[in-house]
Amino acid sequence: MTAIGLLKGLSREAPILLAGPTASGKSALAMDLAARDGRLIVNADALQVYDCWRVLTARPTPAEEAALPHALYGHVARGAAYSVGHWLREVRPLLDRPVVIVGGTGLYFAALTEGLAEVPAIPAAIRAEANALRVDGGLAALIAGVDAETASRIDRANPMRVQRAWEVLHATGRGLAAWQDATTAPLLPTTAAEAVVLHPDTDWIDLRIARRFAGMLGRGALDEVRAVQAVWQPGQPWTRAIGAADLMAHLQGSVDLPAATASAILSSRRYAKRQRTWGRSRKTGWQSVPLP
């Protein structure tokens, strides 16, 4: 099945989960589903929750949000504590109506459909220590401080996941893998939903990423980054929007705009590759849809 034929085959009543890489057209498809069925569009992207990013995270436009019901977009202030646990608690009351939950954050979908380990909040001092360690020693330094079982499970190429594992161990004295083994029951298992993951061709998605970033610059992405320049804090969750650090480096005079643009596009392509890897790992309960 292709994305064109996808709408006809999906339930009009069951919750729909729509996952896939950045720039693969998920938001447009979610809006088609919402218009067809009267669904609420629920965000499952960890960066689209922040109020400071619209253009740079490809959040729905104000006109799109006004045309169809959307939830959990741009509702978190930069710097505010927000985690997958917060997101799950906000999703729960939304499931009493037809929804399409759409995004590219695999951790959100995994927590929703497989359950979440109830890890205690990480103290600010531990997070600051982890940030400093990552800046000074990189991923290798963080991995060296993670227990063996967790290190064998996590995606070692994903800085956020590696840092999270380090923080959990050093904050609780218990490895993330052990916490995950005590996971709670899922809020919405795939058996109770229509779960779809888009699988785009690499060349196709790479071209779309480059074109989209050029469009973002034309729609004011640089101004969006400039607006947070005075409060910029590298390492904070809200600063991890892809392209934000590259454009900030340009604003701070470190690189020219073409170099910043090239770096942002490369980061987006690498992120899309990680998202495709996550999608390929969804062997049970997910429909795989090739693109284009």
Dist. CA 175–CA 38, nearest whole Å = 43
Predicted confidence at residue 110, as pLDDT, reads 94
Tell me: do 70 and 7 sit in the same domain. Answer: yes
Q: Domain count for the chain, please give it.
A: 3
Average model confidence (pLDDT) across the chain: 94
Q: Give 30-35's long-range contacts (Cβ < 8 A, gap of 24+).
A: 30/100, 30/102, 31/60, 31/64, 31/67, 31/68, 32/7, 33/7, 33/100, 34/68, 34/69, 34/100, 35/68
Q: What is the DSSP letter of 253?
A: T
pLDDT for the residue 118: 80
Name the phi and psi angles at 117, rounded to 5: -75, 125
- The whole-number pLDDT of residue 2 equals 59
For residues 103 and 138, state if they share a domain. Answer: no
Please report, for the domain that includes residue 77, its CATH number.
3.40.50.300
Burial class (CB in 10 A: 0-12, 13-18, 19+), 221: buried
* ∠ CA 195-7-283, rounded to 5°: 25
Based on the domain organization, do 142 and 234 belong to the same domain?
Answer: no
Do residues 197 and 208 share a domain?
no
Asked if residue 12 lies in contact with residue 36, where contact means CB atoms within 8 angstroms, the answer is yes
Residues 80 and 196 in one domain: yes
Are the C-beta atoms of 150 and 139 separated by less than 8 Å? no
Q: Which range marks the domain in which residue 143 is found?
A: 124-181
Same domain, 128 and 94: no
Q: What is the per-residue pLDDT for 150?
A: 95
- Residues 231-277: tens digit of each pLDDT: 999 989 999 999 999 999 999 999 999 999 999 999 999 999 999 99
| Dihedral sign computed on CA atoms, order 240, 141, 169, 171 | negative
pLDDT in tens, 75-94: 999 999 899 999 999 999 99
- Supply the pTM of this predicted model: 0.85
Domain boundary among 181, 213, 230: 181
Instruction: List, in sequence order, the alpha helices (H) in 10-123.
Output: 26-37, 62-67, 84-91, 106-114
Same domain, 70 and 189: yes
Q: Are residues 112 and 169 in the same domain?
A: no
- The tokens for 178 are 């052990």
Supply the pLDDT for residue 1.
55
Element (H, E) at 40: strand 40-43
Q: Are residues 72 and 189 in the same domain?
A: yes
Look up the CATH number of the domain holding residue 217. 1.10.287.890
Q: What is the pLDDT of residue 206?
A: 98
CATH of the domain at 172: 1.10.20
Domain shared by 162 and 262, yes or no: no
Question: Which regions of the chain are under pLDDT 50?
Answer: none
Cα 146 to its chain centre, rounded Å, is: 23
- Both 94 and 196 in one domain: the answer is yes
**Which of 133, 151, 181 corresponds to the end of one domain?**
181
| Pair 152, 208 in one domain | no
